[in-house]
Structure 1
Amino acid sequence: MVQDGLLPLYEQVRRKLLSEIDAGRLPEGSFLPPELELCATLGVSRITLRRAVGELCAEGLLIRQQGRGTLVAPRKMQHTISLSGFADVVAGQGHKAGHRVLEREDNAVEPAVASRLGASKLVRFVRLLEVDDRPMTLETLFVDGERFADALDPVEAGQSFFASLRKGYTVEPAGADRLINVGFARASEAEALGVSTTEPVYRIEKLVLDGKGTPLALSQTVTPCHLVTLAVKN
């Protein structure tokens, strides 16, 4: 490694690793070589390497996975907080969206949610939202099973709920109320998303409304922070 006396050694290592990532020689989704191998290749100590790797982890470019190693993080997608559905956002960035249903529960017992939706029959879906066949978001989706009965089977088959609404009903989302929090992945969430329980995640609850302010659906999503950058659209 060529050394620049004006930069601390750990910063030189950080930049070297970053250039390897940018060039695709350390592709996203791959693990870094073992620590001893990297130290020998770069000609630095473990302390220096660990500081450089720690800097890249803090930037969201690397992810430490306990017992497995250090992973090159997938490039972040920009997720705009708008009325667009997941499939629309993903397709707009040139990627393939997938909706994999993990659970479906008819007559779900969630009194508070049923009240917010005005639903006498509440249906709950748990879906893994994927980008290019890789997990992105774990979603719990609640819908009025009587009002939108014709949309239930298409959603279970992997279709977008918004697309199912447009196709089967003269209803269009016109607004939404959102709550956004950041926390850590629970064990079941981490398993579904393929991350650790120390992974920071965005928790977003979205109540979708029609043009008259009537609720259409409620979603609760969990997305690892290293996968997306949230943006707000006026």
Structure 2
Amino acid sequence: MAQDDLLPLYEQVRRKLLSEMEAGRLAEGSFLPPEFELCATYGVSRITLRRAVGELCAEGLLVRQQGRGTYVAPRKVQQTISLSGFADVAQGSGHKAGHRVLSRDDHIDAPDIAARLAADRLVRFLRLLEINDRPITLETLFLDPRRFAAVLEPVAVGKSFFGALREAYGIEPAGAERSIDVGFARASEAEVLGVSTTEPVYRIEKWILDAQGEPLALSQTVTPCHLVTLTVKT
């Protein structure tokens, strides 16, 4: 009797599914076959299959998407939380970074943010941050258009904010205040990121600071947890 035969049925199925994923027969982003087909393939009940699939979902290897099924999660990106910007971190890890601008609003009513930035008015960019052309993070970026007029067009056409700030003003962000939370994707966020509203996401609010500790901009990001492993660099 093989050692695996001594394991519970659901664990045997979990290992077989895992083997299929590791061999590439179940590719990243592909949906699992229908339940009845998998039950027939592995000779198990739906209850057993669902437990095996549930275990892989809990491990972040599979993702359930309401109304569509369960798919193989892409391999996680290692993302470092540091003073560097998104593009700098991605490129430093050998990846290609992209900033897809979804919208720009030059008339934002956010008095608390404006007060913190000492701004008369604000510009807000909604951007989809990508690594190797894969959507990773939805970002809302708030800027003072008077103070940083020279970065507006570069950011609007998909350039890095940190890179534009460096090139236009010679400013290098010196610090950040962050709050990190975990919640679920809102409907509008889920649609853009291609996940379900039951998908756990990291929510990070980051005030980008200059050398005097004064805020330069505010970045609010939403990142599906199954796509990224966050590493803190001190």
The superposition leaves residues 129-170 of structure 1 with CA deviations (integer Å, 9 ceiling, x where unpaired) of: 112222211110001111110100000000000010111112
- Give the 3-state SS of the residue equivalent to 2:137 in structure 1: strand
- Counterpart for residue 46 of structure 1: 46
- Residues 64-115 of structure 1, C-alpha deviation per residue, up to 9 Å, x if partnerless? 1122111100111121111111112222333221111111111321100011
Counterpart residue type for residue 80 of structure 2: T
| TM-score normalised to structure 1 length | 0.96
Equivalent in the alignment of 2:178: 178
The DSSP-based 3-state class of the residue aligned with 1:142 is strand
User: Contact 2:60–2:73 at 8 Å: present in 1 too?
Assistant: yes
Corresponding residue of 1:152:
152
State the percentage of identical aligned residues.
76
User: 1:1-234, aligned counterparts within 5 Å?
Assistant: 4-234=4-234
CA RMSD of aligned residues (A): 1.3
> Structure 2 CA distance, aligned partners of 1:215 and 1:66?
40
Q: Secondary structure at the match of 1:109?
A: coil
Kindly state the Cα deviation for residue 178 of structure 1 after the two structures are TM-superposed: 0.3
Once residues 148 and 201 of structure 2 are traced to their aligned partners in structure 1, the CA distance between those partners, rounded to angstroms, is 30
Asked if 2 retains the 8 angstrom alpha-carbon contact of 1:83 and 1:174, the reply is yes
Give 2:73's aligned amino acid: A
Letter of the 1:82 counterpart: S
Aligned residue pair count = 233
Equivalents in 2 of 1:21, 1:156: separation in Å? 39
Alpha-carbon distance in 1 for matches of 2:127, 2:46: 41
Letter in 1 for 2:152: L
Gaps in structure 1 of 5+ consecutive residues: none
Q: Distance in 2 between matches of 1:92 and 1:75?
A: 18
Secondary structure of 1:5's aligned partner: helix
Q: Is the CA contact 2:5–2:12 (under 8 Å) kept in the aligned structure 1?
A: no
Q: Indicate conservation of the 8 Å contact 2:101/2:126, yes or no.
A: yes
Decide which moves more: 16-25 or 215-224.
16-25
The Cα of 1:8 is off from its aligned counterpart by 1.0
1:78–1:230 CA contact under 8 A, matched in 2: yes
**1:3, distance to aligned residue in structure 2 (A):** 7.1
SS of the residue aligned with 2:204?
A: strand
> Which of 83-92 and 11-20 deviates more?
83-92
Secondary structure of 1:141's partner? strand
Distance 1:175 1:66 in 2: 40
User: Contact conserved, 1:3 with 1:12, CA < 8 A, in 2?
Assistant: no
Contact 1:13 1:52 in 2 (8 A): yes
Whether the aligned pair in 2 keeps the contact of 1:99 and 1:127 (CA below 8 Å) is yes
C-alpha distance in structure 1 between counterparts of 2:117 and 2:165, whole Å: 16
Separation in 2, partners of 1:92, 1:172:
17
Unaligned stretches of 5+ residues in structure 2:
none
